[in-house]
Amino acid sequence: MSGLRRLLQVTYTIGSYLFWWLLVRLHLRRVTMTPAQRLRCTLERLGTAFVKLGQGLSLHRDLLPEEYIHELQNLQDRVGPFANDVAAREVETALGKPIAELFAEFELRPLAAASIAQVHKARMCDGRWVIVKIRRPGIKTEIDRDMRLLRTVMQVLLTLSPWLRRYEPLTIIDEIWTNLRKETDFRKEAHQIEHFVGAFQDSATVHVPALIDGLYSESVLVQEMSSGRRVDDPTIGEDGARLAQAFVEAYLQQVFVMGVFHGDPHPGNLFVMESGKLCFHDFGIVGVLNPRIRRHLAAFLLAFVHQDGEWLLDAAVELGLLEGDLKREEFRQGLQEIIEEYAGLPLKEWSLAEVFLRVARLGQGRHMRLPHNLLVLMRAMALMENAVRSLDPEFNLLGGLLAKAEAVLKATAAVGAETGWSRLRFEMASGAQELPAELGALIHRLRANGLEIRLQHHGMEHLEGHIDRASNRVALALVTLGLYIAASLLMLNSIGPRLGEIPLLAAAGYALALWFTLRLARGISRSGRL
């Protein structure tokens, strides 16, 4: 389809929906479906890129009403499989070998087909059964074309309706476009799979299917085949409580220790294997949390559990759920209402995902937009809670989190502290290596420029005294800095006798440097000047 023809189709379809929506809002038209349902149908009719757009918008629970979120999450990829010969050709082109050399057996009929890719079953020459994920030919070009067209249409709408700018629609479109590009590049998914396989390789409760012999490219990915019952299978029965606890522990590990988590834990991506392990599939969507966000997330969890409104407000601001320059009184009442509402419920009915969402919605209309990874986390928490309750309706989710959270958070804190000390040691060592060269260069510049200061004065003894004291302070400050660096190097290399874990020479260096620091501080304090 030509670009102009597709632009006209997109513009007409979106315009028709907006005109219909306006008539409904003005009560000029009777309807058989809700605006949210009509939007879902409209996006499905426009094809893959718009289906993915809708699924991306469904993450924005902080902006959209719940009925729209529900409908957008139900968007379906209504696409049939592509031809068998095309699938075989794509595999051979991507992996650089004929099908017969790659596999002992390759089933041309796909196991499943979707808008981005389809999956085939195959058997390796050593007998292992695998799945082969093949990207739909031309889908990357199609997505880029449609997203450009969507940006064009949105720019026209912003010109006609400037009030839409408060929602930053172009930024949201670009964010979804960027993540679609990641989703269509199977190399990124392969790297995530390798990361998760390594993290859970020794786990007694979780399994992640491994990549096969590095067989992956931008458009094809070969992975170990595994199967089992979905987590919402009613036959799981009494084993549900154990699996629910294993699932919660797996997410604590991902979120607070790894800093990378599976972003789409719906029942289709979670299986219970015959061995009793919980199996994670499909790592096309993952969230990443840096150490700072993880610390604030832990604070949010603990503040919620302890029903501490002030702490919860601080954690929400640090996470970015609420603006940092807000007037605290504006949100304190809303947070207190949330806390009081949960205080009257049994602990097993508490929902961290719901609290996260409700706090985020307190900031609606304040010209702020949540970071993508927090949106992914909000959705993942909601899906996680649903999965846990499918496994065991009586499971005390918050209690399960707290049972393991303390140990996990201590491990996270230890890793963070070690990272901090590592950086301090590195910076001290670098400073010690670079300081002589920097001082040498400074002396060279002074000599080259022939700097000479001659003062002739009468009755300026008081000024001379000030200059002498200032010179002494500079000299003492340099000596103190040298002592700190030397002591840090001694500490780093564990030189000399030790008292417990601390080298005595390093301790002496630190003590002397601290004494000089106190002398400097006292002298400056007495003079009243820096």
Residues 20 and 17: their CA atoms lie apart, in Å, by 5
CA distances to 51, 440, 482 from 443, rounded to whole Å, are: 67, 5, 18
Shortest CA distance to 283 belongs to which of 141, 425, 188?
188
Q: How many Cβ atoms from other residues are within 10 Å of residue 380's Cβ?
A: 24
The reported pLDDT for the residue numbered 367 is 45
Q: Which helix (H) or strand (E) holds 222?
A: strand 220-224
- What contacts 23, CB < 8 A, 6 or more positions away? 29
CA distance 5 to 69: 30
Exposed/middle/buried for residue 256 (C-beta within 10 Å: 0-12, 13-18, 19+): buried
pLDDT of residue 89: 92
Q: Which residues contact 178 (CB under 8 A, 6 or more apart)?
A: none
pLDDT of 528: 53
Spell 316-334 as b/e; 16+ CB within 10 A means b. bbbbbbbeeebeeeebeeb
Task: Identify which of 326, 396, 398 has the alpha carbon closest to the alpha carbon of residue 362.
Answer: 326
Averaged pLDDT in 10-residue chunks for the chain of 530 residues: 76 85 82 86 84 81 79 74 89 92 92 86 93 92 88 86 80 87 90 92 92 90 90 84 88 87 87 90 87 84 81 83 68 81 73 80 61 84 85 75 58 51 53 64 66 52 59 67 69 65 73 75 62
Q: How far apart are the first and last CA of the chain?
A: 72
CA–CA gap between residue 214 and residue 220 (Å, rounded): 11
The residues annotated with a catalytic role in the active site are 264
Which pLDDT score, from 0 to 100, does residue 423 have?
46
Compute the CA torsion angle 519, 522, 527, 529 (nearest 10 deg). 90
C-alpha to C-alpha distance for 222 and 445, rounded to whole angstroms: 62
Taking Cα atoms as reference points, which of 306, 304, 327 lies closest to residue 315? Answer: 304
- Label residues 15-43 b or e (16+ Cβ within 10 Å = b): eebeeeeeeeeeeeeeeeeebbbbbbebb
Beta-carbon contacts of 503 under 8 Å, excluding residues fewer than 6 positions away, are: 490, 491, 494, 495, 496, 497
Question: What size, in residues, is the chain?
Answer: 530
Each as own residue / partner, the long-range contacts of residues 138-141 (CB below 8 Å, 24 or more positions apart, any chain) are 139/48, 139/115, 139/184, 140/181, 140/184
pTM over 0.95: no
The C-alpha angle with vertex 284 and arms to 244 and 245, in degrees rounded to 5, equals 10
Which spans in 254-396 are helix H?
291-305, 309-319, 328-343, 352-361, 372-391
CA angle in degrees (0–180, nearest 5) for 333-338-340: 90
Q: What is the pLDDT of residue 240?
A: 86
Instruction: Give the pair of three-digit tokens for residue 309.
Output: 């409104």
- For residues 464, 465, 471, 473, the Cα torsion angle rounded to the nearest 10 degrees is -160
DSSP string of 225-262? Answer: ----EETT-GGGGGGHHHHHHHHHHHHHIIIIIISEEE
Contact 271, 226 (CB under 8 A): yes
